[in-house]
Amino acid sequence: MTTSQPILTITGLRKVFGGVTALDGIDLEVREGEILGLIGPNGAGKTALLNTITGFYRATTGSIRFMGQEISNMPLHGIGRLGIGRTFQNIRLFKRMTVLENVMAANKRYVRSSFSAFLGVIGGRTALDEARHWIELMQLGDKADMLASALSYGDARRLEIARALAGNPSLLLLDEPAAGMNETETDQLVADIHKVQTSVKAIVLIEHDMSLIRSLSDRIVAMDYGKKLAEGDPDTVLEHPDVRRAYLGSDT
């Protein structure tokens, strides 16, 4: 387990929608060099937590500090440019654009008002080179000119990760990246995430596949009803009685 300093610190985080409390006093650290697994049953607040970190939701109360800077009141685009990238449960790609174009379009440093800027002319070949780097990392190099709509499901998931990496984030948030994958695709995803880990400072991984969570996570945080149930190394958390009752469907 890593003992590095936290790059993300969340204190007393609450998010309330009308009369529904999605996040109820969450305290959480993400430490440099680690993969933090986030587990819990559907409706536990996992995606709400990612949405609040990234500015899709505005926190009701509490603090979110990234690299020492308070971000709980920052707009979504500002948080992204500080160095937080993410994927979504539902794949969000430009289906009529190529793999390469999808990754270039996700790099906010080069997407301006003109088509020439989109192509990376302003930065020479920098944008193109960066996009190709992430595509190669996710084993999509031979599909760079393929339309996103023609990709297999597993490759579409990889492209989603490549797009999240396009802005060179320090913190990468992955929301159920293995959802819908078969066993072979999931095994490859584990290897892909290990490769990605060398390019970012930390990863937060939401996943229902316990074998994937166990194999990738340095620490695990378990949630239920918007609260933190348990935190620690994978074996400790997955065997915690409250976690087994809430998430694994066991009373023992």
Q: What is the CATH number of the domain that holds 188?
A: 3.40.50.300
Share of the chain above pLDDT 90, in %: 68
Least confident of 8-12, 94-98, 216-220, 243-247: 243-247
Task: Indicate whether 252 belongs to any domain.
Answer: no
Model pLDDT, residue 4: 78
Q: Which residues pair with 220 in a beta bridge?
A: 37, 232
Residue range 11-63, pLDDT digits in tens? 999 999 988 999 999 999 999 999 999 999 988 999 999 999 999 999 999 99
Q: Which residues contact 149 (CB under 8 A, 6 or more apart)?
A: 95, 96
- In this prediction, residue 121 has a pLDDT band, given cuts at 50, 70 and 90, of very low
- In this prediction, residue 125 has a pLDDT band, given cuts at 50, 70 and 90, of low
- In this prediction, residue 71 has a pLDDT band, given cuts at 50, 70 and 90, of very high
Task: Indicate whether 150 belongs to any domain.
Answer: yes
- Structural domain boundaries, residue 79: 6-246
Residue 241 pLDDT more than 70? yes
Give me the number of domains the chain comprises: 1
Model pLDDT, residue 90: 86
Cβ-contact 89, 179 below 8 angstroms: yes
Residue range 176-210, pLDDT digits in tens? 999 888 888 889 999 999 999 999 999 999 998 88
Nearest to 31 by CA among 204, 196, 199: 204
Task: Indicate whether 196 belongs to any domain.
Answer: yes
- In this prediction, residue 161 has a pLDDT band, given cuts at 50, 70 and 90, of very high
Average pLDDT over residues 107-127: 53
Model pLDDT, residue 251: 52
Residue 122 pLDDT more than 60? no
- In this prediction, residue 163 has a pLDDT band, given cuts at 50, 70 and 90, of very high
Model pLDDT, residue 167: 83
Average pLDDT over residues 162-172: 93
Average pLDDT over residues 159-180: 93
**CB neighbours of residue 206 within 10 Å:** 24
Averaged confidence pLDDT in the chain = 88
Task: Indicate whether 1 belongs to any domain.
Answer: no
Average pLDDT over residues 157-185: 92
This model's pTM is above 0.85: yes
Task: Indicate whether 251 belongs to any domain.
Answer: no
Model pLDDT, residue 224: 93
Model pLDDT, residue 3: 60
Residue 115 pLDDT more than 50? no
223 alpha-carbon distance from chain centroid: 17
To which residue do tokens 């590095």 refer?
4
Task: Indicate whether 205 belongs to any domain.
Answer: yes
| DSSP states of the chain | ---PPEEEEEEEEEEEETTEEEEEEEEEEEETT-EEEEE-STTSSHHHHHHHHTTSS--SEEEEEETTEE-TTS-HHHHHHHHEEE--SS----TTSBHHHHHHHT-TTT--SSHHHHTT-TTTTHHHHHHHHHHHHTT-GGGTTSBGGGS-HHHHHHHHHHHHHTT--SEEEEESTTTT--HHHHHHHHHHHHHHGGGSSEEEEE-S-HHHHHHH-SEEEEEETTEEEEEESHHHHHT-HHHHHHTS----
Average pLDDT over residues 210-235: 94
- Give the whole-angstrom CA distance, residue 35 versus residue 220: 9
